[in-house]
Amino acid sequence: MAIKITDLQTVANAYKANVNVYTTNPYVYKDLYLDLTQNQTTYQGFQNPVAKKDIQVSYDDQAISNSLTNLFNTIPGQRFLFPQYGLNLRQYLFEPISEINAQIIGRNIFDSIKTYESRVTPLNVNVIADPDNNLYIITITVLIPVYNATVSIYYNYDLTRQKFINITNNQ
């Protein structure tokens, strides 16, 4: 006597018809934040919230923004299995904050997005020098082809902290 598993038959039929039965997610892209955040969670049956550490995820355009933040804050050579990945702007750390350096930084950012982030097409990178606050104000405009949408993402490159700060999502 043969055993029939109906769920597997559904998957097999969908595979033959070239239909994905697992596309019930309301999002296209999902990405992990690289730090653990402490969340307050209330479980059923307990009156007080329980503090726990959990991995935070982002979806769609926030996932892309998160990925870009990781790209900009990674120095080439930091990722052992992908040593070319990242953007090295430490060479501008002791350089004067000027419009010429802002243009060079913008070109480096544009090229790194084009090279390492295949989910978007960079359209424009605008970098404004702010020597009074010791930072560069960066506006990145990208096209997300899956949605056919243009999104602007805003960063500050803080030379004091040597870090890209996403001011779009307040990360």
Token couple for 133: 């606050």
- Number of other CB atoms surrounding residue 135 within 10 Å: 20
pLDDT band at 34 (very low <50, low <70, confident <90, very high): low
C-alpha 157/C-alpha 146 separation (Å) is: 28
Do 142 and 121 meet the contact criterion of CB atoms below 8 Å apart?
yes
pLDDT band at 143 (very low <50, low <70, confident <90, very high): very high
| Confidence (pLDDT) at 10 | 66
Do 75 and 90 meet the contact criterion of CB atoms below 8 Å apart?
yes
Q: Percent helix, strand, coil in the chain (nearest 5)?
A: 25, 35, 40
- pLDDT, one tens digit per residue, over 65-120 is 888 988 998 999 998 899 999 998 888 888 899 999 999 999 999 999 999 999 99
Rg of the chain over Cα atoms, rounded to whole angstroms, equals 22
DSSP 3-state assignment of 114?
A: helix
Domain extent listing, the chain: 6-166
CATH (one of 3.10.450.40, 1.10.240.10, 3.90.1150.10, 3.40.50.150) for 6-166: 3.10.450.40
* 6, HSE (Cβ side, Cα atoms, 13 Å): 0
| Confidence (pLDDT) at 168 | 73
- pLDDT, one tens digit per residue, over 44-71 is 666 666 666 667 777 788 888 888 988 9
